[in-house]
Structure 1
Amino acid sequence: MLPGCEAVSHANGSAVGVVVIHGFTGSPFSVRGVADAMIAASFDVEVPRLPGHGTTIDDMLPTTWADWSAEVAAARARLAARVDHVVLAGQSMGATLALASALDDPSIAGMVCINPLTRPRTADEIEMIDDLLEDGFGVAPGGSSDIADPDSHDISYEGTPLAPIRSLVVDGVAPISTRFGELAMPLRLFSSRTDHVVDPADGDHLADSWGGPVERTFLERSYHVATRDYDREVVERGSVDFVREVTS
């Protein structure tokens, strides 16, 4: 376990709880600021460490969407057992997992999505991944986390595990990408204007197809990992205020 990547389970004795979900190759460290803001606001919080994350990239290679979504479901169940109202919050793939979880449980009080991945990839993109896998490549080269603030950092893997990213887009994103109109709970959406990982058009797709009320904030100074970037306090305050509003 990498220091700072531990899962979080915090009971405040509140009637309101929030599941906060990190992104692909990230860890609970990525969203710890949001979790800490929720804890300071006296909410119960669960931050699962998704299988294969927060240790070594080799641990992630055999994991799939089914593994990550099962961990989110377990965290949601732990929280629901002790609170009356559950809100789901996620960053990047964490937001995708939150959306899929909400489709399984319409009782969710509200959703917070930060730079979510919501649109399926093209056949050419899938074919490229398949070709690399067939050629024996398990990990595509990658750089540091997409953060504008030079004084901030994230704890995530360098490189993209190819079989897991294929599972994310094929097993995770594609089946739910046309179903967001089924979700009627309030949505708080944060979108970075400049995102080098997920096209901001994914946020447009989510907002345009959502079946309930949407409040969207565009982040002018942050890149993809907005939870660790210049606008992190905007995300944290906005998320806390939203949870209070939808559970009051």
Structure 2
Amino acid sequence: MPLMPGAEPYRHHGGPVGVLVCHGFTGSPVSMRPWAEAAAAEGLSVSLPLLPGHGTQWRDLNITRWQDWYATVEREFDLLAKECDQVFLFALSMGGALCLHLAAQKGTAVSGLVLVNPLVKMPGRSHHALPLARHLVPSLPGIANDIAKPGVSEGGYDRTPLHAAHSMAQLARMVQSELPQVTQPLLLFRSPQDHVVPPDSSRLLLSRVSSTDVEERLCEQSFHVATLDHDAEMIFEGSLDFVRRLAPAAKG
């Protein structure tokens, strides 16, 4: 199955400070490419992988599970860690859950996290029906393109595959239990008008992490995919300032 335009992984070999960039569920690197390129333009080494089952058609995602997505994230992190003195994590939505799991597992090898509307709690109550519903119907209408800016697409699917969604719910529950193990500096960007991830997801995150260097910023003009929305430049600039503060080698 051919890739959607722009869904290709992105990699840039820069300096001794690296950034792993992670897209969300049913999305693709399209949603994160401008952020990755902004980091690369500042001399950072960057890896933006395509998660398994994404970037083609939704049926491909339905035969993958969170362990497959995480294996890709961990592999790219390990490659960056071999090349760089410090590695940071930039993530959107479900990518935030994957990166929180990575941070809990890798400890001080992760220098910090910048999360945009991270999913650590599934929205509503309908996800409780997923264990049964996924055997009755293969998919539901999609969640992609929650973007306030007109004419912008994140390169996501128009359907939500339910076997994969069930696996994402399992990931979210596991990450909730691991949040006290997250100790790294954390910069959180949250959209008050997010129609995909509920605000109590971020509240839960902030209440349970053990990080002491924590900041939350609001993306007042953006919806869920804020990395492509009106507040994108604020996210890019804020994340790069965050990296420079914590990684002296990035200031050059």
TM-score by length of structure 1 reads 0.94
What is the Cα deviation at residue 3 of structure 1? Answer: 1.4
**Contact map agreement 1:121 1:169 (CA 8 A) in 2:** no
> Residue 102 of structure 2 aligns to a residue in which SS?
helix
**Contact map agreement 1:103 1:182 (CA 8 A) in 2:** yes
**Contact map agreement 2:138 2:163 (CA 8 A) in 1:** yes
> Residue 134 of structure 1 aligns to a residue in which SS?
coil
Q: Cα gap change, 1:78/1:131 in structure 2, threshold over 3 Å: closer, same or farther?
A: same
1:32 is matched with: 33
**Contact map agreement 2:26 2:144 (CA 8 A) in 1:** no
1:55-97 residue CA offsets vs partner (Å, 9 max, x unmatched):
1112111000000000000110111110010001110001111
Report how many residues are paired: 244
The CA distance in 2 between the partners of 1:159 and 1:33, in whole Å, is 24
The CA distance in 1 between the partners of 2:119 and 2:144, in whole Å, is 19
**Contact map agreement 2:90 2:115 (CA 8 A) in 1:** yes
What is the Cα deviation at residue 7 of structure 1? Answer: 0.3
The CA distance in 1 between the partners of 2:82 and 2:75, in whole Å, is 11
The CA distance in 1 between the partners of 2:123 and 2:145, in whole Å, is 21
Give the 5 Å matches for 1:72-151. 72-106=73-107, 107-119=109-121, 125-135=126-136, 137-142=137-142, 144-151=144-151
Q: Cα gap change, 1:159/1:234 in structure 2, threshold over 3 Å: closer, same or farther?
A: same
1:226 is matched with: 226
What is the Cα deviation at residue 125 of structure 1? Answer: 3.1
The CA distance in 2 between the partners of 1:184 and 1:132, in whole Å, is 37
The CA distance in 2 between the partners of 1:148 and 1:108, in whole Å, is 32
The CA distance in 2 between the partners of 1:54 and 1:85, in whole Å, is 29
Work out whether 1:162 is the aligned partner of 2:162: yes
What is the Cα deviation at residue 2 of structure 1? Answer: 1.2
**Contact map agreement 2:101 2:175 (CA 8 A) in 1:** yes
What is the Cα deviation at residue 121 of structure 1? Answer: 6.7
Q: Cα gap change, 1:143/1:66 in structure 2, threshold over 3 Å: closer, same or farther?
A: closer
**Contact map agreement 2:123 2:198 (CA 8 A) in 1:** no
Give the counterpart letter for 2:178 in structure 1: R
What is the Cα deviation at residue 119 of structure 1? Answer: 2.4
> Residue 112 of structure 1 aligns to a residue in which SS?
strand
Alpha-carbon RMSD across the aligned residues, in angstroms, is 1.4
TM-score by length of structure 2 reads 0.93
1:235 is matched with: 235
The CA distance in 2 between the partners of 1:119 and 1:3, in whole Å, is 30
2:192 is matched with: 193
> Residue 18 of structure 1 aligns to a residue in which SS?
strand
> Residue 81 of structure 1 aligns to a residue in which SS?
helix
**Contact map agreement 1:115 1:224 (CA 8 A) in 2:** yes
The CA distance in 2 between the partners of 1:144 and 1:70, in whole Å, is 23
2:176 is matched with: 177
The CA distance in 2 between the partners of 1:199 and 1:120, in whole Å, is 8
1:156-179 residue CA offsets vs partner (Å, 9 max, x unmatched):
001111000100111x11112032
> Residue 77 of structure 2 aligns to a residue in which SS?
helix
Work out whether 1:61 is the aligned partner of 2:62: yes
The CA distance in 2 between the partners of 1:240 and 1:27, in whole Å, is 22
> Residue 216 of structure 1 aligns to a residue in which SS?
strand
1:208 is matched with: 207
The CA distance in 1 between the partners of 2:154 and 2:141, in whole Å, is 17
2:7 is matched with: 5
